[in-house]
Structure 1
Amino acid sequence: MSLPRSLHPFDLVMASTRVYSSLPVVGRHLEPFAGLTAMAMYGHHYAPAAVRGMVTRRIGGREVAAAPVVVTGEQSTGRRRVPPYLSFRAQRQRCLYRSSVRYGDHPAQLLDVWRLPDLPPDAPVLLFVPGGAWVQGSRVLQGHTLLHHLVKQGWVCLTMDYRVSPVNRWPRHIADVNAAIAWARANVDKFGGDRNFVAVAGCSAGGHLAALAGLTPGDPAFRGELTEDADTSVDAVVGIYGRYDWQDRSTPTRRNFQSFLERVVVGHRQSRRPELFEAASPLARIHQDAPPFFLIHGEQDTIIPVGEARAFGDALAAVSRNPVQYSEIPRAGHAFDLVDSSHARRLAVEVGRFLGSVRDRQLQADTAAAV
């Protein structure tokens, strides 16, 4: 790892987190605190804008509260609902089929399998990658409304843990995602899934990892311990308020984000190792054979501004030979699927519709080829 030109108190704190996380026996239990420390030390940069955005959305919500909201064919009355982050336990209890399945040898390489007991044969598969600024990566809590919806539609859903910074440096995160994809391609039929249709989705940092995995199958830099014949390709990608640009330093906010990547996630300065940041940036990895993409973002996201998702979607649509669909949710901020039930349902329905159409096209193509 290259050291910063000048020692900063932040670097000392991060060094201490790596020390206590490496302790025998107890170290692995302390790793989450290292990530929380990093988020807390950088989070103050985003707090004012996040608070302003939350206030704006609440005021806007009261202004339109009397009007019904139509969400993909379902009408809601504007009354208060249980936030999704409070209903995840019930959703998980209804749909969890098998917990803590190993997709690799490391203790952190675990996933949960969600499916119905009476699943039809060869069900399509979605791997969900949680977010958390690359310093948290837990399969608990995130994405549960989406997974619950897809499971009811007859899908097998996998939600994963992966190794995170600052204890684990880039590209460990994407290597674990690829390991989970390869595991699904080789093993998901044991749980009723179709190994020939595996999609990947993720929120925030997980959206970045999902997009990067979809654009870079077989990249040797991102394979980790996988063998050369392991299949890391996916049939569709869903990016949910994801970060798609790891290179831009054009504004103070962007420079702050790049500093976070340098000090916490990558461990190298961008000026000294620009190729690392370019290789990890989905915006720089676009190509015409990209799988079908669905991008969804909140209009009032103050953590990852919506302009980044728009730019990535436009650039991808201009090049890719496969469908690229973009959806923007009015008055929604970052992590909207955790705090607003109507937004979470809209996300689930739109993603389900998109993935269903991709799956149908694949089945039609397979039938035509067989004939």
Structure 2
Amino acid sequence: MPNDYVVHVLVLGLATTAAFSPPTRPRPLARAAFLAGMVVNEVPHLVLTLLAVSTAAAVWSGDLRRDVLSGVLLAGAAATAVMLVALTSRATRSSSVADAALRAAGIDRAPPRQSRWRTALTPLPIRPRSVQRLRNLRYGDHRRQRLDVLRRRDRPTGGPVLVYFHGGGYFSGSKNWEGRGLLHHLAARGWVCMSATYRLRPGAGFEEHLADAEAAMAWARTHAGEYGADATTVVMAGSSAGAHLTSLYALRATPDERPAAAVCLYGYYGRYYGRSTDEVVTSTPFALPASDAPAFLIAHGSLDNQTSAATARALADKLRAESSQPVVHVELPGGQHAFDFVTSWRLTAVIGTLDALLADIGVEAGRQLEAS
């Protein structure tokens, strides 16, 4: 029995198991399971294809015989295939769950959805040729106070602005990895999108992270016009720690600074490391009033073992109770942390939901754009 097929079944089986039923404790095991299953969870159909091709090749070459090891391997491959089919079913239900979330928020709009087949076959978040990326613009003096601007190459004017903040638990992360499908989608429709980095632990603390978010948002408003955008319409978004920053900024901002909408993807919403209720600067959105909150989109995976889906539900409940603006909460079935790493069925469902929410509050992508 060649080692190649043994390795394929073992590796794919372990990664699929990690995606199908990720442990939450202990933390090192939960982290390892998240990393092992991250890609499998978002593109299970491609992993199933790989497993089928590998098995067919082993059968064709005669490597699988009528012996115990071959039987064990085939049983393992079959069990993995069953889990992959279940993972695919979970992922493809994202659009119907997102539609229900819109209806629950009182938004009666059918969001545009990309073909399931197109999503299945093109999951890599490759920047479209129509979108230009301007790298490492400074919004401050520190080396981490940098942002990229993404806009359409034909430079239309009058589009809204999106400012995006990456995740990484405040100790890692980059503007080059997360949220690319979202940024590319809006930029292609005429938005000016900005993806920002910020200072990290241990060299910076909570006040520095928040100050960087405020500085990046101020820079966006001041300079958006230089890139053809309408600086009066700014949407803020973030993933994980970036979602934490987004929720805090949106609830703390003055009326002149408040974003038109806040987009929070698989966010952490508790207090900052080691903080307690006697903190001077509030580090959890639960301790801030939300009567003047903007519209919110909160998207979280139901199986996220890095940040709690229950906390995302609680934040949505708080916002609904206190705010008069739409609050859309999408709990993606089977979703894990960092589901926006690729342009999968889950991310495309979230993007379509965001389009519907923005249209409902009067921020329509591509509205009244003019060629410059």
TM-score normalised according to structure 1 size? 0.68
Aligned pair 1:357/2:360, yes or no? yes
Partner of residue 296 from structure 2, selected from 293, 313, 326: 293
Cα drift, residue 60 of structure 1 = 4.5
Q: How far off is 1:100 after superposition?
A: 1.1
The answer for the alignment partner of 1:150 in structure 2 is 186
Q: CA deviation at 1:334?
A: 0.7
| Cα deviation digits, residues 107-157 of structure 1 (max 9, x gap) | 221111101022432110000010000112421111100011111221110
Distance 2:129 2:119 in 1: 26
- What is the aligned partner in structure 2 of residue 48 from structure 1? 29
Matched, 1:118 2:122: no
Q: 1:205-354 maps to which residues of 2 (within 5 A)?
A: 205-218=241-254, 232-246=257-271, 261-262=273-274, 270=276, 274-276=278-280, 279-339=282-342, 341-354=344-357
Deviation at 1:328, TM superposition (A): 1.4
Q: Does the alignment pair 1:108 with 2:144?
A: yes
Structure 1 counterpart SS, 2:203: coil
Query: Any unmatched runs of 5+ in structure 1?
Result: 1-42, 220-230, 247-257, 263-268, 365-371
* Distance in 2 (alpha carbons) for counterparts of 1:213 and 1:67: 33
C-alpha change, 1:108 and 1:358, in structure 2 (3 Å) is: same
* Offset at residue 164 of structure 1 (A): 0.8
Residue 76 (str. 1) matches residue 101 (str. 2): no
Amino acid corresponding to residue 279 of structure 2 in structure 1: E
- Which piece of structure 1 moves more, 101-110 or 124-133? 101-110
- The one-character-per-residue Cα deviations of 1:218-247 (angstroms, maximum 9, x if unpaired) are 59xxxxxxxxxxx6421110010111122x
- Distance change (3 Å), C-alpha of 1:321 and 1:105: same
Q: Highest relative contact order (Cα 8 Å, sep 6+), 1 or 2?
A: 2
For the aligned residue pairs, the C-alpha RMSD in angstroms reads: 3.3
Q: Kindly tell me: are residues 65 and 99 of structure 1, through their superposed partners in 2, closer, same or farther at Cα, counting changes over 3 Å? A: closer
Distance 1:78 1:153 in 2: 18
Q: Distance in 2 between matches of 1:163 and 1:204?
A: 15
Residue 3 of structure 1 corresponds to which residue in structure 2?
none
1:58-95, CA deviations, whole angstroms, 9 ceiling, x for partnerless residues? Answer: 66442364899364644425996565xxx34x317752
Report the 3-state secondary structure (helix = DSSP H, G, I; strand = E; otherwise coil) of the residue aligned with 1:326: strand
SS of the residue 1:177 aligns to: helix
Q: Deviations along 1:268-287, whole A, 9 cap, x unmatched?
A: x63xx72247x110111132
1:24-55 Cα deviation digits (max 9, x unpaired): xxxxxxxxxxxxxxxxxxx9942433566749
- Residue pair 2:132, 2:153 contacting (<8 A) in 1 also: no
Tell which deviates more after alignment, 315-324 or 90-99: 90-99
Whether the aligned pair in 2 keeps the contact of 1:68 and 1:77 (CA below 8 Å) is no
> Does structure 1 retain, via aligned residues, the 8 Å contact 2:178–2:338?
no
Letter in 1 for 2:268: R
CA deviation map 1:244-294 (0-9, x unaligned)? 122xxxxxxxxxxx7xx12xxxxxx63xx72247x1101111321111111
Please say if residues 295 and 326 of structure 1, whose CA atoms lie closer than 8 Å, have aligned partners that are also in contact: yes
Percent identical among aligned pairs is 32
Give yes or no for contact 2:259–2:294 (8 Å, CA) kept in 1: yes
Distance 1:190 1:68, change over 3 A: closer
Which stretch shows the higher mean deviation, 331-340 or 309-318? 331-340
Residue matched to 2:98: none
Residue 63 of structure 1 corresponds to: 86
Separation in 2, partners of 1:82, 1:124: 27
Deviation at 1:341, TM superposition (A): 1.7
Note the C-alpha offset of 1:331: 0.9
In 2: Cα distance, 1:66 partner to 1:324 partner? 27
Structure-2-length-normalised TM-score: 0.68
Computing the radius of gyration from Cα coordinates, the structure with the larger value is 2
Aligned residues: 285
Q: CA 1:340–1:191 in 2, change beyond 3 Å: closer, same or farther?
A: closer
CA contact (8 A) 2:206 2:283 kept: no
Inter-partner Cα distance in structure 1 for 2:121 and 2:26: 31
1:111 alignment partner AA: L
- Structure 2: give runs of 5+ residues left out of the alignment: 1-23, 45-81, 96-111, 368-372
Residue number in structure 1 paired with 2:75: none
